[in-house]
Structure 1
Amino acid sequence: MALNRNLQKLFNIAQKSERLGIGLMSGTSLDGLDIALCRFTGHGMQTQFELLNFTTIPYDEHFKGEVRQVFAKRQADIEKLTLLNAYIGGYHADLILQALEQWQIKPTEVDYIASHGQTIYHAPERQHLQPGYPNATLQIGDGDHIAVKAGIITISDFRQKHIAGGGEGAPLALYGDVLLGSKAGENRLLLNIGGIANATWLPDSQNLNEVFSTDIGPGNTMIDAACKKYFDKPFDKEGEIARSGTVNQNLLNALLQHPFFHQKLPKTTGPEVFNLALAEKTITDSGIGSVSPADLIATLTAFTGSSIVQFVNSYVSTYVNIYASGGGASNPVVMAYLKQHLPKANISNTSALGINPDAKEAILFALLGNEALVGEPIAIGTNPAVLMGKFGFPY
C-alpha cells in the first residue's frame, strides 16, 4: 500500500542530503517572532548548518496585550486561551510568509517549520507542589494552523516529549548546544539570557555524561516588567535606566535568598516565579522601604548578573569560555557585571562560534526539527533520550 501524500512528502524530505528548515522562537519577553531560515546536512554530532536568513518581526502592543491576559497566570479566561491558541498559529504563519516574501523564497522551497510556540505557563513539580501531578508546561500557537496557512510541514510542541520522557520540558537549548557548540579541549558555558537565564555546560572532555543544562534564574523578565510599568518602555535599551540608578544592596541580597537558588540542578523556572510581584513583595517583606524606579531597575539588573555569577562560582570552573546569547547579551550593564565579577572567565557572545546570538534560539529549534526528521535519540547527562516535536501537515 502506498503512503498518503503527507507521509510520502515527509519520507522524501528525510531522504534528502540537505534540508531547508525554518526555526521559530517567541520568548517570554514578547518582543516579537524570531524567524531563522537554516540549511542542515547530517544529524546528531555530525550536524552541519548554515544560517541563510534571520529576522525578528516585532509584535504590536495589541498582540502583546492579548497574550498578557493569559501569560504566566494561575487563573485565566479559558475562552481567551482557546482563541489565542488558534490565532497565534495563524498569526505566526502570516509572519513567516511575510519573511519569505522579503527573502524572495517560495514556501514550496522550504522543507519544514519548527515552531517553539508561545509559552503561557511553565509548571515543574518543584514549582506547583501539587501531589500526584507531573511536570507540566504549556505552549500555544497550534502547529496545524501554521502548516495549513503557510503550506509547509510544521513540527511543534517540542517540550511535551521532554516531559513525557522524564524531563522538565526545559531548557531544550541543551541538545542544540551540544550538537553545535562542543569542542574538545575547551571548557565552554553557553549562556542564554532571555526572559529567564539558562546555560549549558560543555566540558573539554566532550563526555556527554558530564554535560548539563539548567535554568539559572531571572534574565530580562523582571527588568522588562519594571521598565514597562514605571517607564512605559518594553526594555532597558543599552542599560540606560540601570546606569541612572543605584543598586539597593539590601534588596539584592534578599532576592538572592529565593529558594530556587538552593534547589539542585538541573532545574527550570519561569516568569511564574521571577516577576515584578516578587520584587515588590520582597521590598515589603524585608522592610526596605521605598525604592525609586531607576534604583529598582538597577537592582534587578544586578540580580540577573549576580545569579549568573553565583551559578558559575558554584557549579562551573571559573576558567571557562562563556558564550552569551539572547537579549541580555546586548545589555552592556549585565555583560559588564559578568566580566567584573568573573575575572577568570573569557566572556564573549556566540558569534565567536559562528552562531548569531540573536538568532540562536530560533536556530536551535530548527535543529530540533531536523533531528525529528532524521535524527536518533541522544542520551545527554540526565536528560531523556527522546526525539521531540509533533508533525502538522498542510493538507
Structure 2
Amino acid sequence: MNQIANLYQKSNKEEKLIIGLMSGTSMDGLDIALCAFKGNGTNTEIKLLHFKTADYTDVFRKQVKSIFSKREVDLEMVCLMNEQVAITHAQLINAAIAEWGYRNDQIDFIASHGQTIYHAPKSLHKREGLPNATLQIGDGDHIAVHTGIITLSDFRQKHIAGGGEGAPLAVYGDYLIFSKENEDRIMLNIGGIANYTYLPGSLDAAKVFSTDVGPGNTLMDQYVQQHFAGLYYDKDAAIARKGKVNEALLKELLNDSFFGAAFPKTTGPELFSLSYLEHAQKASDTASIAKEDVMATLCRFSAQGIIDSIQRVLSDMHNPVLYLSGGGMHNPLLLDFLKEALPQITFKTTSALEIHPDAKEAVLFALLANETLCGGQIYFGERVNVPSICMGKLSLPK
C-alpha cells in the first residue's frame, strides 16, 4: 500500500490511536499521551489509555536551554537541536509504546507540539512591518522516520498563517472535549505561562476564547534555578512559604501593558524573564530583599495575573466551575492565593472530567491532529486571533 493510501485508510478508521506529545517551557520532560478517538468535532469521543512524562537527561535539558528564549543564539546549535529534539522524542515514544505493551504499527498517528524555543507575536517584538512569529523545534520527519508512524507537527504555524498569534491553542480542543451545556467553565492551565479557556454553558462557539494571562511557573522556576543550587523548581512552595510578599515589588511586576491588553492575548518567557524581575526590583528598590521574599512575591504575581483575568469574565458566568491542569496546580501556595481571591468559583482538576491534569495539553494536540485528519472547521466567529482552521503538518514515515 502506498503512503497516501495508508494515510487515507488510517484517517477513516472508526477508532484511531493517536499519541499526543507536549514539551513545555519548564523542560522537565516529554508528556506522552496515548488516546483512542472516535468521531470528530462536537461528536468526538476520546479515551486516555496511557500517559507518562518521560524524563530528559541533564545534558539534553542543558542543550535545549542554551537556545531557549534568547534573542541571540548559536544558529548552528538551533539547526542541530531541531534534529536532536526529534530524535530524542522518537526514542522516548518508542520506549513508551513498548512499555505499554503495543507495537509501533498499532499506533495510527503521532501529534507533536515540538519544543518552543522562541515566541514572538507583534505585541512582544514590536518591530514595525514584521509579522507574528513563533518557533518550535523537533522536526516531524525525523519523528515519523524513527518511529515508523505518520506524524503531525508544527501546529502553531497554521494558526499564525490564519491570522492568529500562534498561541494559545487550547480553545480548539477545550471547546470540543470539555464544553457542557448549562455549566459555565474555566479551563485553567498553569504551565510556564498560565492560560485559560472560557467555555460558556450556552455552547456558543463564538463566545469561547483562550488567552494567556501571565506567568505561571516560568519566573519562579528561573529564579530557583539561578539562586538555589540543584533545584529546578520550588517543590510544594517550600521556599516561598518561608518568605513574605513584598507589595512594592508586586506592584512593579504588575506594571506592564500586557496585563491590561484585551483578550485573547499571548506571551512567553521572552517577556517574563529574570531581566523583567531585575528591572522590577530596581524600580521598586527591592533588590536586597530576601530570596524567600522574592519567591513569595513571584508566586503572588503569578496568582494575581490569573485572578485579575478571571475576574474580567465572572460577571458573565453563573455558578462557574474552574478545572485545573498543568504543573502549577501542584503549588499549594499558588492555589491558596487563587481560592482566597475567587471564593465564588468551584475548583476542580480535569481528573473530574476523566483527563489526567498533567496529560491535558498532550491530549489536546492529539485532538488537533484528529480534527485535521477527519474533522471540519469549527466556526469560532470572525474574531481577531481565533482563526477557524485545522492545524498540523504531515510527515510520512517512508
TM-score where L is the length of structure 1: 0.97
How far residue 189 of structure 1 moved from its aligned partner, in angstroms, is 0.4
Instruction: Note the aligned Cα RMSD (angstroms).
Output: 1.0
In structure 1, the residue corresponding to 2:239 is in which secondary structure?
helix
Give the CA deviation at 1:60: 1.7
**Greater Cα shift, 312-321 or 355-364:** 312-321
**Residue of structure 2 in register with 1:392 after alignment:** 395
Residues 351 and 357 of structure 1 are in contact (CA less than 8 Å); yes or no, is this contact kept in structure 2? yes
Match of 1:122 in 2: 119
Identity %: 51
| Pair 1:176 & 2:179 matched | no
In the alignment, structure 2 segments of 5+ residues that lack a partner are none
What's 1:322 paired with?
322
Whole-angstrom CA distance in 2 between matches of 1:215 and 1:191: 10
Cα distance in 2 for residues equivalent to 1:226 and 1:281: 14
| 2-structure distance, mates of 1:15, 1:56 | 30
C-alpha distance in structure 2 between counterparts of 1:380 and 1:338, whole Å: 29
Q: Is the 8 A contact 1:201 1:316 kept in 2?
A: no
Verify: 1:71 aligned to 2:74, yes or no: no
Deviation, 1:288, is: 2.5
For 1:297-308, what aligned pairs fall within 5 Å after superposition?
297-308=295-306
- Following superposition of structure 1 onto structure 2, how do residues 295-374 of structure 1 map, counting pairs within 5 Å? 295-317=293-315, 319-374=319-374
1:148-205 CA-partner distances (Å, limit 9, x unpaired): 0011000000000000000011111111100011011111000000000000000111
For residues 207 and 21 of structure 2, the distance between their equivalents in structure 1, rounded to whole angstroms, comes to: 29
**3-state SS of 1:20 partner:** strand
Match of 1:280 among 242, 262, 278: 278
Please say which of residues 105-114 and 317-326 is displaced more in the overlay: 317-326
CA separation in 2, counterparts of 1:289 and 1:334?
23
The answer to whether the 8 Å contact 2:278/2:287 transfers is no
2:242 is matched with which residue? 244
Distance of 2:221 and 2:57 partners within structure 1: 16
Please state if 1:220 is matched with 2:217.
yes
Where do 1:39-50 residues align within 5 Å? 39-50=36-47
Equivalent-residue separation in structure 1 for 2:286 and 2:74 (angstroms): 35
SS of the equivalent of 2:238 reads helix
Q: Distance in 1 between matches of 2:314 and 2:59?
A: 42
Alignment map for 1:106-121 (pairs within 5 Å): 106-121=103-118
User: Structure 1 pair 316/134, CA: closer, same or farther in 2 (3 Å)?
Assistant: farther
Residues in 2 aligned to 1:157 and 1:49: alpha-carbon distance in whole angstroms: 22
Unaligned runs of 5+ residues in structure 1 are: none
Does 2:119 align with 1:152?
no
Equivalent of 1:187 in 184, 188, 192: 184
TM-score by length of 2: 0.97
Give, in angstroms, the shift of residue 281 of structure 1: 1.4
- Corresponding position: 1:14 with 2:17: no
Q: Which moved more, 1:34-43 or 1:228-237?
A: 228-237
Residue of 78, 81, 85 corresponding to 2:78:
81
Moved over 6 A (4+): none
